[in-house]
Amino acid sequence: MCFRKEGRLLTSVDCQNGRSSEILTWLVMTLLLFVGFDSWATNSNGDLVVGKVEIVRGSIFSEAETDSTEGTLSILRKSMNSLHINTREHVLSRELLFKEGQSYNPELLEETERNLRELGFLNNIRVTAVDTTENGEVNIRVEARDSWSLKTSLNWTRSASGETRWGFSLSEVNFLGQGVTLGAGVGADENASYYNIWFRKRRLTKAGLVLGLDYAKREDGHYRNIFVSRPFYSLGDKWSVETRAYESLSDVRYYLSNAGPAGIDPQSGSSLYARLPRLETGIHLGTLLRLSKAEEGRIWRLGAGLGISDLQHDLDVQPSWLLSDGRYVDLSFLNEGEQPMARHQGVTVFPYIWINSKGRSWNKARFILQYGPIEDIPMNWSFDLKAGPNGPAVGSTSGFGGSTWKSEFVATKWWQLGPGMFKLQSWGKIQTGSSENSFHQVNVQSGWLATHGAEHSPWITRLTAEAGHGNNLIGDNALLLGLNNSLRTLDFDGMAGDRLLRWNVEQGKAMPWEVLGLFQMGLAAFYSGGVAYWDDEDRSLADSRHEVGFGIRLGPTRAANALISKLDLTWDLDGFKGPVFTAASRGFF
């Protein structure tokens, strides 16, 4: 058996009328923001063909870099070169999108360079045409320098209330230079301590299959996952396939409205939740086929898939449950009537049509999402949509009967805007049908990320914001605002609900040196704000929280992991607790 929850506690369902048209209008308006006119040039290269392909591999530190240092730093660099096994030549050659004797296409050189960067264990990658012979052969040089691929990750975060999370992991992402990943970790999240292990093998067969295994043992359960996939290795690839099977048993934080049956203060600014057991098992199958031309125009892919999941919450094991405010409450009503939890209990079968599209225009940038390495920014809008029935007609036992239609989507667009890049992204899930079966969750995130000044040590400006809107959500799928989502002076999940708004303004300065030749360091000052609440609570945007702080930014320049590490000291501007120290790696903001 398996189970899961994603919603909020409802006291009534009389707010459903008109929701479908509201959701459709919002979705259409969101998609219109992404749809535009894409244009690019097609290169005509006559009868040119690929000639000799030379692969040049480099160590983490070049000979000049090791010879130019003395003492401890010199020993460190030489030791890292000696201990690290460089990527095998066949690992690089199998990633090339061109072969000797085939028609020469310069766009494939650029795409190969992007693919090599995506591997995550290479630096200073260049794929260039070096000369053209008299008989029309274009010789190509592929240059790549290895990164230190043994990744150590140590994170520790402490919330304003004193609650802590920590984790330590060790992983080799290029084992023996073969591009294989092996990893293990230990830690403790908000619910339980755990240890986990994982394995990834790329291009397992000539068909290019990827094998992945995950296992985690927790105080409150376990997690097991296996997948076999064949991704698109290039824009011109004809097909992809993915298969996955998983089982997850753990306690989850099930969020409740402060205005609902379990709440006592509709104006409370703190999240209300209980730790409830959840078992979920499932399988997923999906495939995509390229419909458009291999070498020009927008990429269109069409496919289909099937997801089957079984979700259960066993609330009968005890008569009452401890809430986050210290009260014990009988929560058996969550599995009764037309509550969101009851809607998701049981087996859900979801056969879907799959549409995927992306463009071919890219920009190279630095200091956008990472902190120093070259990044590839897709400049054409892209989207991914899965839609299909998931009611009793296709075998589902979950829900309250009647036909339902579910869709999942994500759409992204980047623009060049002045000295920076502007990103707009939307994602969500929508289920239509009867009022008790319908729900939606839609997020829109935007950001302007700009640099100015010296190329390798610029000033970095980040303006980011996110809005989320949901209805009839189950409690473990609530929109959260807290330490892991923008506001450092809140708890990990200090606010929760089906409405969310958060924003951040940060001004940073990258330093012109590398610490030990391994990290680029920077300083930053920031202001953040936000609010999250349930629609039936007596709260609004006026209840937003605000904070200011400053910190250190560290970006690995010679390591496989290029995520920004943040060490921040933050003060709450609303008269609560502070200052708060956090150490974490985060994504967009």
Output the DSSP codes for 471-509. ES--GGG-EEEBTTBB-TTS-TTSEEESEEEEEEEEEEE
Within a domain: residue 368?
A: yes
* Helix ranges (DSSP H) in 124-172: none
Report how far Cα 350 is from the mean position of its chain's Cα atoms.
Answer: 23
Residue among 488, 464, 408, 400 nearest 441 (CA): 408
E strand spans, 59-209: 122-132, 137-146, 150-158, 164-175, 180-188, 193-201
Q: Is 142 helix (H, G, I), strand (E, B) or coil?
A: strand
Own/partner pairs for 171-174, CB < 8 Å, 24+ apart? 171/198, 173/120, 173/121, 173/149, 173/560, 174/85, 174/87, 174/121, 174/146, 174/149, 174/560
What is the β-pairing status of strands 321-322 and 328-329? Answer: antiparallel
Q: Is 117 helix (H, G, I), strand (E, B) or coil?
A: helix
Within a domain: residue 179?
A: yes
Within a domain: residue 277?
A: yes
Q: Is 192 helix (H, G, I), strand (E, B) or coil?
A: coil
How many whole angstroms separate alpha carbon 112 and alpha carbon 93? 10
Show the tokens assigned to 363: 């920009």
410 DSSP 8-state letter: E
Domain that holds residue 545: 19-38+149-585
Q: Is 44 helix (H, G, I), strand (E, B) or coil?
A: coil
Domain containing 161 — which CATH number? 2.40.160
Q: What is the pLDDT along the chain (589 residues), one digit of tens a residue?
A: 433 333 333 333 333 344 444 444 444 444 444 443 333 333 445 589 999 999 999 999 888 888 888 888 888 889 999 999 999 999 999 999 999 999 999 999 999 999 999 998 998 899 999 999 988 999 999 999 999 898 888 778 877 777 888 889 999 999 999 999 999 999 998 889 999 999 999 998 888 999 999 999 999 999 999 999 999 999 999 999 999 999 999 999 999 999 999 999 999 988 999 999 999 999 999 999 999 998 889 999 999 999 999 999 888 889 999 999 999 999 999 988 788 998 889 999 999 999 999 999 999 988 888 887 888 999 999 999 999 999 999 999 999 988 999 999 999 999 999 999 999 999 999 999 999 999 999 999 999 999 999 988 999 999 999 999 999 999 999 999 988 788 888 888 889 999 999 999 999 999 988 887 788 899 999 999 999 999 999 999 999 999 999 999 988 888 776 677 888 999 999 876 668 888 777 667 7
pTM for the predicted model, two decimal places: 0.87
E strand spans, 498-573: 499-515, 519-533, 545-556, 565-572
How many whole angstroms separate alpha carbon 495 and alpha carbon 498? 10
Residue among 414, 395, 392 nearest 403 (CA): 392
Sign of CA dihedral 388, 393, 396, 399: positive
Within a domain: residue 241?
A: yes
Within a domain: residue 56?
A: no
How many whole angstroms separate alpha carbon 392 and alpha carbon 404? 8
How many whole angstroms separate alpha carbon 534 and alpha carbon 536? 6
Within a domain: residue 491?
A: yes
What is the number of domains present in the chain? 1
Within a domain: residue 234?
A: yes
- Write the CA distances from 548 to 31, 216, 568, integer angstroms: 34, 37, 10
Within a domain: residue 298?
A: yes
* Cβ contact 31:407 at 8 Å: no
Cβ of 32: how many Cβ atoms within 10 Å?
Answer: 9
Which residues contact residue 108 at a Cβ distance below 8 angstroms, ignoring those fewer than 6 apart?
97, 98, 234
Q: How many residues does the chain have?
A: 589
* Cβ contact 196:176 at 8 Å: no
